[in-house]
Structure formats: structure tokens, C-alpha cells
Amino acid sequence: MIKLAISGCQGRMGQRILDLALRDKAFKISCLLEHRERPGVLSSTFGLPVSFNSDSLNGSQVLIEFSSPDATMEHLKACQKHGVKMVIGTTGLSREQASLIKKASLKIPIVFSSNMSIGVNLVFALIRQTAKVTGKNYAMHLMETHHVHKKDAPSGTAKTMAEIAEEHAKTKVVNVDSIREGEVIGDHEIIFDSTVDRISIGHHAKTRDIFAEGSLVAAKFLAKQKKGLFNMQDVLGLK
């Protein structure tokens, strides 16, 4: 069994990851982390004790991290110290913080992805294939919608979609429209538009479980890795 730690365990994502992990015989929950100053924070969740100290990661094999950029950096240091592998789904990280993750992967294995959803990563692969063929003959437009609580805009997923499209089409995405409304979990669509037709590739998230399930797949993948930086395309064999 994989000794699994979960950061942000009382957040919406953390709770879903924990619920699914408890049902999966491949995992044993070894550590639950939360921020001491989180409003309404509890000393336990799902009947398991919650820690506010990153050194409590000692003894875990894999940490799933969906939290703030600052907390992610703190836990990155602790994971290097204690030899804990990391699945990082945190968005809104700076280039400097992303660079620190890359550097840490020389010591520990890390899956770092803007979106852990299997469906979204299939979309990434479709965008890569489409952009290679359409190239500069099509104008690329991107639209994304999330709930009003999401702080970063464009989302990490939208940025990744744009990066993939631009890399393989050898041209820039014309615009990225970001909408924040209601409790939308995540809608993403990229349009390849020409004078003769329009190609649309999109994804609609019905539940956060798609991200939670993907992160657990990534944790199982990491259990077999010694070091290195991976993303969900690597995990799913889509490259």
C-alpha cells in the first residue's frame, strides 16, 4: 500500500481526494495537512487527525498537493527533506516557483500538472495533434469559465492549452476569454477558425472527482519512480 499524504485536506478538492483514497485499497492515509489559519479549520477530518506541521510528512511516500503557491513551496522543502514524492496540482505558481519544482525533481519524483483530469489531458493531446496540422492557417481562440472563488485568470489549464497550441501551430492564440461565475467547476474550449471551417475542442467538468481521481492515478504512477519531473501526459502515456 502507498502511504499517502494529502495537503489542504479540508478544502473542496482535499475532501474529495481523501474520500476516494479511503475507498481505494492501494492507499493508506499517513498524513493530513491543513493551514492553521484556515477559517473553521478542524483538528480532524473523516475521523483522521489533521496536522499543521509540514514535518509530519516524514514517513509518507507520496503527497498530493492542491493548495496555495506558498503552502506548496513550504511542502516542497519538507518533501525533499523527508524523501516524499509529490503530485502537484496547485495553480497560480510563479515562474520562480515552477523553477524550484523543476530543481526539486532532480532529487524526488514529481508529477506537476495544471489539470489532473484524464479527460482534459486527452484534450491536451487532441490540441497538440490539431495544431500541428492547422498551423498558421487557422486563428486560435480560447475560452474558459470557472467558479467565482477561483483567484487566477486565465486558469492554469487555459494557459497549458494555449502553450500547447502555440508550440505546435507556430503562431499565437489570438485571445483568451476568462469568465468567473456561479459555481462552475471548469469549462474549457479552444477554437481553430479559418475562412472555410471552425474546429472546436472542449471539456466540461461535471464534478471535482475527475481531478481527484486523476491525482490518485498520478500517485500510483509516482510510486514506481525514483526522481524526475512528469506531467499527466507522462502518467497516461499520451506523449
Report, as residue numbers or ranges, the catalytic residues: 146, 150
Helices (DSSP H) in the chain: which residue ranges? 12-23, 69-82, 95-104, 118-134, 156-169, 209-222, 232-236
**Quick check: 63 and 81 in contact, CB under 8 A?**
no
CA 173, 89, 187: angle at the middle one, nearest 5?
50
Across the strands, what pairs with 139?
Answer: 193
Across the strands, what pairs with 228?
Answer: 109
**Quick check: 14 and 7 in contact, CB under 8 A?**
yes
Amino acid identity, residue 66?
F
103 to 100, 109, 223: CA distances (angstroms): 5, 11, 20
**Quick check: 89 and 64 in contact, CB under 8 A?**
yes
- Assign residue 87 a region (left: φ > 0; alpha: ψ between -120 and 50; beta: otherwise): beta
